[in-house]
Structure 1
Amino acid sequence: MTAVEDRSRVETEGGVSSGLYTYDLAPTKKEGRRWGAYNVFTLWANDVHSLGNYAFAIGLFALGLNVWGILAAFALASVLLFLLLTLSGFMGHKTGVPFPVMGRMAFGIKGAKIPAVVRGAVAIAWFGIQTYLASSVLSALLVSMFPGLRAMDANSLLGQSTLGWITFLALWILQVLIVSYGMQMIRRYMAFAAPTTLITMCALAVWMFVRADGSISLSVDEPLIGAEMWMQILQGAALWVVIYGTFVLNFCDFTRSAKSRGSIVRGNVIGIPVNMLFFAVIVVVLSGAQFKLDGHVITSPTDIVRTIPNEFLLAAASLALITLTIAVNLLANFVAPIYALIDLFPRRLNFRRAGLVSAGIGLVILPWNLYNSPVVVNYFLGGLGALLGPLFGVIMADYWLLRKSRVNVPDLYTDDAQGEYHYRRGYNPRAVWAFAPSAAIAVTMALAPVFHAVAGFSWFIGAVLAAALYAVIADRTVQHRDVDGEALAVAAE
């Protein structure tokens, strides 16, 4: 029986609705799940070592945290993230559904489009920005290798040089091609990129350590001390969790293909606490060694890469950073909007078409202009990011506190008024009532200058408020059934 015939049979016999159930949104078959612990680890091995994360972590050194303060911040953050991501990952493994479908439990079969669209909008913007950052590294490499291209990098068309357009479009096309082959191709690319990333960053740190005569500066000239230092450690840890506020929402997009809970736990242990502390060590070596050499605090590993005197090593390091950035984009900024778009237009889009639409939007927004506008990044993307905490709070409270992890998977795909997740015309008003005020408070804390001192904690405050509100006002009279979706499952991979 073909996948189309199997889907047709399920729609007619299983009571699912064609506007809610598609080949790509269907729960994964348990026997078809291929993600082991190594695949989960490679997800974090790539994402943790992104250029944006290095810029953030090195910024902690510039703000006055010493080496031990930075390590403490990342140790605390890694414990929090391990717990949050493991809870989120278990949801994906049990149900086998992607995030837009997962959200139907708490928000309803129609209301779930709210969290899916918010998550997808943030990802599309960052997809464009990350592609632009990778293209900048490629442009710098090409100019270094072929000085005659410098003239092509001096003009401007819609805010981008001719060389910039060429490198951006080349990387844009490459990512579209990878995504067009589905999640298994993304899994294979991660498996290739992860060791490349780790080896390159480790080699770069060793090279800098040798250049600095085997020692590093442990802090800037006037490091933070006392209460101020501890507040910065807590802020740094909180902001690191905020960076992953997107992933803790849609981690189920990946763990729906996990072989077992054990593979999620093992992959998370190596990929989060162990890998993040390894990342922190590289950060302190790079920043401390550079500060010892010339008293200058770097802003990104690309600052060091550009100083490599050997052209071959420069090319290898630059290509590794580009490979890494593409991996981050595929994981954090491509998969989420693809599923969100399929959920919005189930009859018109599949995984490949949704990937092209998502990439197209990421291109037409001219992301380099977004990146170069602090107002847009801070207020638009910062405001959207602040919404992720309250969404996470509602979804986690609904699944773990209210339902006790019991899920009626078939009812996630039906618009029958008697369905468990139909609520009121497809929306759960209690989830919205818990989300709205919590989101307003989180956004205000994140953006209003008067709350600058505690802005880094806005994600946590929004998540806790939303979870508490939802736990209080949620309807507890419904008898939640635990029904798996094996009869609906279509091997989409």
Structure 2
Amino acid sequence: MSFRRNVSRVNELVKLHGDEAKHEQTDSWANRDLIPLPPSRRTWGWFEFFGYWTLNSLNVSVWQLPNTFLSAGLSVKQSMAVIVVSNVIITMFTSFCAWCGLTYHIGFTIQNRYSWGMRGSYIPLIQRVMLNFIWTAIQCYTGGLLTNVIITAVWPSFQDIPNHLPASANVTTQEMVGFFIFWFCSLPFLWLPPEKFRLPFLVTSIYCSLGMISLLIWSLAVAKGVGPLFTQGTNTTGSRWTIPWIMLNCINSNIGSTAAGMVNGSDFSRYGKSKSAFIIGTISCLFAVGIIVSFMGLVVTSAAQNIYGEIYWNPPDLLMRIMGNGRGSAKSRVACFFLALGFALTSGFQNVCGNAVAGGIDLAGMFPRYINIRRGAILTFLAAWIVQPWQLEAGAATFLTALSSFSVFLAPMMGIMTADFFLLRRGRIALSHLFRLEGSAYYYALGFNLRALPAWLAGWAPTVGGLNAAVHADDSAPRALYELYYVSFFIGFFISFSVFLALNVLFPPGNLDTTDDADVYGAFTASEARALGLVPAPEALDGEPELAYGEAEKVAYGSAEKAVEDPDEEIKV
């Protein structure tokens, strides 16, 4: 009996508990971090969204994008054209996925329940969790390389530590030390809630921007102009691919590198104060910062080639060379210390915000009683040791393939989300039905929407063969497989979009017009609720006596609230 009591005590101790007065439902389908965010927690203005995307732009991967494309055989102009086109597409599809969060203040985890079914939503959720694990690990590895620069700048003898790891490990002892230190130093930031990200956004974006500009000025001053890399022509000698196909592949891979953040756009858009804030912040960053950073990376790499006679497309490698692997002058080591620190801060907080927090939200959706954003983010960080990102980063070709592969499975998800929310439901959903199983309009068949899975499978089935061939570098594979793979994002999106739309037209689910009568979660201001045709929550009317309830509204709100407490009581639709 004592054992059972102890187990029960531990269970109660680790369970999450919400404030019922604030509508913080906590059960098998909801907790405080999953329910629609109330106005008090929606703190993101245009700068927060600008800062969020700035973190995604002011990092090593965006810096070295043009160089990756040059290695594939493109010219400078073609590489920059790929980046511009990619950013336009990323902006557009990110907005598609984020609009539900801006409207109903729910994240990707909950958003999928009305498309896939309450239980079926675990299918995209599990994939997102895996991707969050991978991206967190990759970013920790990149941050670890920058940490090595920081340590070497202070203690040059760090580079003399012998490597005790075999070549097959694709990582050295120094890199493992850097990986651990970066990982460990990032942990405290996991305790910071997304509502309070403004200050880190401000510090990291300003610091890293100044660092990149300083590196650009130094490289041009020392090299007295750009080097031969900047003016090199296209070289596709011996390649089986023409320039248009190479560009399509590069566009696809660039989108694929951001697809994980695009598909869960509502995880962060739900924190927005307004839709205009999201639009202004997102577009201004992707079209300004994202393109400029890639161009700066190209110029610095080209100028450094003029200085050192070699191409250093990875900033940590370039910084190591600038300070002579720690044996350079004190001035060079001090400069490299602050430059590496700027890159590392941005990589660290981008990892926390874009990967760990997103992973925390997804894990919270799988285990709402026990996991919130913070606990889920910690688990996501722990998984970085299992992923072994140094294997993914073993070579440029492998890295490009890894980036491209993500969009194969994510693009079909986006197609389903877009078709469902904008065309089938016309932007109207019943929030109260997304947080209960019994009596939910989104229960479908045993909790699964049988229209979603075939639509998703149809989206990636034509391209998965090319993915397999690319991963194994199979030159004997049919050319058609590679061609489909090189445009996998577009094929996946539009096939799943069309198939899901057709299945819902042929076999209507009967819940496309289902809506609530009232705002039972306190998620909207009075004006927002009325714009959606909902009776505002009582707290939304505080200070607005002119919007007091009428008798009909009191009945509607009471019946809606009862339906949440008692699932057998249906909301009128």
Question: Aligned AA for 1:325?
Answer: S
Structure 1 residue 490: Cα displacement: 7.4
Contact 1:249-1:388 at 8 Å conserved across structures: yes
> How many percent identity over aligned positions?
19
Q: Say whether the 8 Å CA contact 1:409–1:484 is kept in structure 2.
A: no
Tell me if structure 1 keeps the 8 A contact 2:46–2:281.
yes
Correspondence 1:288 to 2:299: no
- Map of 2:497 onto structure 1: 467
Alignment of 1:159-174 (within 5 A): 159=169, 163-174=174-185
TM-score, scaled to structure 2: 0.77
Name the CA distance, whole Å, in 2 between partners of 1:377 and 1:59: 10
* 2:31 match: 22
Greater displacement, 137-146 / 389-398: 137-146
Amino acid of the structure 2 residue aligned with 1:108: G
Structure 1 distance, partners of 2:162, 2:197, is 32
Q: 1:485 to 1:163 in 2, by over 3 A?
A: farther
Deviations 1:356-398 (A, max 9, x none): 2221122234433454489997888865552111111111111
Q: Which residue is equivalent to 1:220?
A: 232
Asked if 1:488 is matched to 2:521, the reply is yes
Pair 257,184 (structure 1): closer, same or farther in 2 beyond 3 Å: same
Match of 1:51 among 35, 54, 60: 60
- Does structure 2 retain, via aligned residues, the 8 Å contact 1:239–1:457? no
The answer to whether the aligner puts 1:445 opposite 2:466 as a matched pair is yes
C-alpha displacement of 1:293: 4.4
Residue 235 of structure 1 pairs with residue 249 of structure 2: yes
CA contact (8 A) 2:256 2:405 kept: no
- Contact 2:41/2:195 (8 A) holds in 1: no
CA separation in 1, counterparts of 2:140 and 2:517?
39
Change (3 A) 1:199 1:319: same
- Aligned equivalent of 1:203: 214
2:85 corresponds to 1:76 = yes
CA distance in 2 between counterparts of 1:95 and 1:411 reads: 13
Match of 1:456 among 481, 486, 491: 486
Query: Alpha-carbon deviations, 1:89-125, whole Å to 9, x = none?
Result: 2221111112111111211111111111101101112
Q: Give the distance between the partners of 2:180 and 2:246, measured in 1 at CA.
A: 39
How many residue pairs get aligned? The number is: 483
- Structure 1 residue 10, shift from structure 2 partner: 4.5
Question: Matched residues in 2 for 1:484 and 1:43: separation?
Answer: 34
Q: Partners of 1:377 and 1:291 in 2: how far apart?
A: 23
Distance 1:99 1:300, change over 3 A: same
Q: Distance in 2 between matches of 1:69 and 1:374?
A: 19
Task: Tell me the residue number matched to 2:412.
Answer: 390
CA RMSD of aligned residues (A): 3.0
Amino acid at match of 2:269: T
Does the Cα contact within 8 Å between 1:17 and 1:414 map onto a contact in 2? no
Q: 1:156 to 1:235 in 2, by over 3 A?
A: closer
Distance apart, 1:321 and its partner CA: 1.4
The separation in 1 between residues aligned to 2:416 and 2:348, in whole angstroms, is 31
Change (3 A) 1:317 1:76: same
- AA aligned to 2:364 is I
2:352 aligned partner: 330
Q: Which amino acid aligns with 1:435?
A: W
Cα distance change, pair 153–101 in 1 and its aligned pair in 2 (3 A): farther
| One-letter amino acid of the counterpart of residue 486, structure 2 | G
Q: Residues 28 and 153 from structure 1, CA distance in 2 versus in 1: closer, same or farther, beyond 3 angstroms?
A: farther
Residues of 1 paired with 2:517 and 2:235: CA distance? 54
Please give the secondary structure, in 2, of the residue aligned with 1:59: helix
SS in 1 for 2:462: helix
**Structure 1 unaligned residues grouped into runs of 5+:** none
**Could you tell me how far 1:437 is from its partner in structure 2?**
2.5
**Under a length normalisation based on structure 1, what TM-score does the superposition of the two structures give?**
0.89
Which amino acid in the other structure matches residue 455 of structure 1? Y
The residue aligned with 1:137 is 146
Displacement of 1:28 in angstroms is 0.4
- 1:96 aligns to 2:118 (yes or no): no
Map of 2:444 onto structure 1? 423
Matches within 5 A, 1:20-419: 20-152=29-161, 154-156=163-165, 159=169, 163-217=174-228, 218-220=230-232, 222-223=234-235, 228-293=242-307, 296-309=310-323, 310-372=332-394, 383=405, 385-416=407-438, 418-419=439-440
- 2:119 is paired with a residue whose SS is coil
CA distance in 2, matches of 1:242, 1:68: 21
Q: Is the 8 A contact 2:253 2:404 kept in 1?
A: no
109-118 or 54-63, which deviates more: 54-63
8 Å Cα contact 1:178/1:185 also seen in 2: no
Shift of 1:26: 1.0
Secondary structure of the 1:349 match is coil
Name the SS for the 2:440 alignment partner.
Answer: coil
Q: Which amino acid aligns with 1:141?
A: I
